[in-house]
Amino acid sequence: MINYSISYNNPHRHYVDFELSASTLGKDSMQFQLSAWRPGRYELADFAQNIQKWGAFDENNNPLAFKKITKDLWEAETKSAMEITIVYNFYANQLNAGSCYLDEHQLYLNPVHCMFYIVDRMEEEYKIELNIPKNYEIASSMERKENTLSIKGYDALSESPIICSDNLQHNTYNVGDITFHLWFQGECSPDWGKLNKDFTAFTQSQIKHFGGFPVDEYHYFFQVTPFRSYHGVEHTKNTVLLLGPGNEIMDKRYEDLLGVCSHELYHTWNIKAIRPVEMYPYDYTKENYFRTGFVAEGVTTYMGDMMLYNSGVFSWKEFVKTQNQNLERHLTNYGRFNLSVADSGFDNWLDGYKLGAPDRKTSIYPDAALCMLMVDLEIIRNTEGKNSLHSVMKELYEEFAVKDKGYSEDDFRNICVKFGGLKVAEIFENHIYGTEDYIPTLKTALEVVGLELKEKKNTNLSAQYFGFIAAQENQKVIIKKVEPNSVTDKNGIAPEDEISKINGKGIEGKLADILKDYKKEVTFTIKKKFSGIVITLPIGNHYQLMEFVKSKNATNEQLTLRKVWSNH
């Protein structure tokens, strides 16, 4: 048994105090490991950088000698001790769906950030005592008795976030004999009837397609912010969703709420139960390299939206909007011609999820989702609607997850090709492992269900007119992306350059509002790090986009398969 006591003083300082106590089992020394990353985000995070103080004591409160072995591994001398207590604190001042945060109204912890496992004792039970204000409620998927939580094994602990708050709202819905909990932390007014209806619908659809659910209960933890936010993190029996502002989540941001929740629920199967062989088991101390990010996130991004559509929660208009967003992100990222989606997923361990070097890599979210759309439609074509990508994922679940083993790249590809044939094999070769242009293959796949790609102009005027995308940073307009060979690129303007003036005037308000009044050309004053230029750029049509539309002359066969696709 590993006992944890968690408390804090001065919550405005954001430091949480931890005490870990355990038997030494007669060992002369013990090692305590903090994770270097968290499952679900494939980059190193080095959480130990948030620890300010660390000490070790025996059962009589005598200090024990210790030293750091690596950046996140401590070793304590325990030759004279029967029990050891580790005392440390952790700076919790990051609020997202996978972090830790403390203030005057809540304690929010992701244990994988801030709680240790004892080396060679990962399977022990954890008992966690929370010293919190009396008016706080606790939201957790762990077993609970008053203010004490318990769970067996570090793998389960690492997947079990905790929210303690004076502002929690709670409701449930049931699908079969499984209870799903909805927890809202933050100022908002949930429409429980609407939520229960829609969540029940897409949950039923997901369970039906897999033929079962991997766990016995499930929790949605919403961190609702007063500002605009959007983030989700999956866990084995729960998910944390960051969304705001709170006064918009039931109307203006309701589609976003549904989208992120369906996505994260699908992860309960895909990446939590259906795991890559490289992550079976997790190694919390270093990178867990794998190339199947296109399965973990590509399939989930596509299927999360598809499940909302086939359950009737999303209309065609709402569903196709998500696909057009994927296509727009793909077409405005020229990294698609440099690094494949499989290799880009592998390289998340190198440069994470940030923009990084311009046009270097693609994404395991929109780009991989488009690949999975193509695979799905080609399976439907090849099997005349008898099978789909659902068939692939159900086989992965039954043959790997249920049998407690990880799948390989070849396993996934072979199952896809078994159902989809030669065309699917080409998608893997050309787009998942290659960098060939998606558009011709996508057009061919869409013919299966009578859809077409129609050209459209970019609604971002700086992107459309000149081929650059800018953002406000510290009250400055900074160029973030430039389309290769655009008029911007050809005139020597690059990412991180600042636009200080437009037609000789300082920039006030939104860039789009200024540019909409110009029809032929615009003069920009550009600041570089060591120089500046004033240059006039002609208005053109750059960062060109496309969108999915229904064919006006779709055949009966196409309409039949479209119905299969949208209802399968």
Tens digits of residue pLDDT in 90-139: 999 999 999 999 999 999 999 999 999 999 999 999 999 999 999 999 99
Two tokens, residue 140: 């957790």
Average pLDDT (151-165) is: 98
Q: Give yes or no for a contact between 241 and 264, defined as CB atoms under 8 angstroms apart.
A: yes
Is the model's pLDDT at 454 over the cut of 80?
A: yes
Determine the Cα–Cα distance for residues 249 and 189; give it in Å rounded to an integer: 9
**pTM for the structure as a whole:** 0.97
pLDDT attached to residue 354: 83
Q: How far apart (Å, rounded) are the C-alpha atoms in residues 487 and 251?
A: 40
Q: How far apart are CA 277 and CA 298, in angstroms?
A: 18
| Residue 402, helix vs strand vs coil | coil
DSSP 528: -
Pairing of strands 143-145, 137-139: unpaired
Categorize the per-residue pLDDT at 356 as very low, low, confident or very high, splitting at 50, 70 and 90: confident
d(CA 176, CA 212): 10
CATH 1.10.390.10 fits 167-268, yes or no: yes
**Where in the chain are the domains?**
2-165, 167-268, 275-452+551-568, 461-538
Give the pLDDT of residue 567. 83
DSSP label of 431 = I
Instruction: Give the Cα separation of 35 and 55 in Å (integer).
Output: 18
Collapsing DSSP to helix, strand or coil, 77 comes out as: strand
Cα 117 from Cα 250, distance rounded (Å): 40
Q: CATH number of the domain at 2-165, please?
A: 2.60.40.3650
Maximum Cα–Cα distance across the chain:
83
Mean pLDDT on 392-396 = 98
Q: Tell me the pLDDT tens digit for each residue of 52-96.
A: 999 999 999 999 999 999 999 999 999 999 999 999 999 999 999
Find out whether 14 and 22 touch, Cβ atoms under 8 Å. no
Q: What is the pLDDT of residue 404?
A: 97
pLDDT one-digit tens code per residue, 163-199 = 999 999 999 999 999 999 999 999 999 999 999 999 9
Amino acid symbol at 247: N
**CA nearest to 241, candidates 270, 206, 267, 213:** 267
pLDDT band at 297 (very low <50, low <70, confident <90, very high): very high
Order of all β-strands in the sheet with 229-234: 168-175, 178-185, 217-224, 238-244, 229-234
Tell me: pLDDT of 568 over 80.
no
Output Rg (C-alpha) for the chain, integer angstroms: 26
Which pLDDT does position 171 carry in this prediction?
A: 98
pLDDT tens figures, 475-509? 999 999 999 999 999 999 999 999 999 999 999 99
Q: How far is the C-alpha of 206 from the C-alpha of 194, rounded, in Å?
A: 19
| Two domains, one topology: 2-165 and 461-538 | no
Contact 105, 7 (CB under 8 A): no
CB neighbour list of residue 516: distance below 8 Å, 6 or more residues apart: 461
Per-residue tokens: 404: 């407690």
For residue 18, what are the β-bridge partners? 6, 88
Query: Coil, strand or helix: which one is 321?
Result: helix
Query: If we measure between CA atoms, which residue out of 60, 69, 391, 73 comes closest to residue 209?
Result: 391
Beta-bridge partners for 550: 451
Q: Which fold is adopted by the domain 275-452+551-568?
A: Neutral Protease; domain 2 (1.10.390)
Cβ atoms within 10 A of the Cβ of 525, count?
A: 18
What's at 455, amino acid-wise? Answer: E
Residue closest to 14 by CA, chosen among 97, 99, 91: 91
d(CA 177, CA 44): 38
Instruction: Say if CB 231 and CB 222 are below 8 A apart.
Output: no
Secondary structure letter of residue 207 according to DSSP: H
Residue 165: how many CA atoms within 13 Å on its side-chain side? 22
Task: Tell me the two tokens of residue 115.
Answer: 């709680």
Structure-block tokens of residue 446: 């869409």
How would you classify the pairing of strands 148-152 and 66-70? unpaired
**CA end-to-end span of the chain, whole Å?**
47
42 and 79 Cβ atoms separated by less than 8 Å: no
Tell me which H or E stretch contains 15: strand 15-23
CATH topology classification for 461-538: Pdz3 Domain (2.30.42)
> Coil, strand or helix: which one is 293?
helix
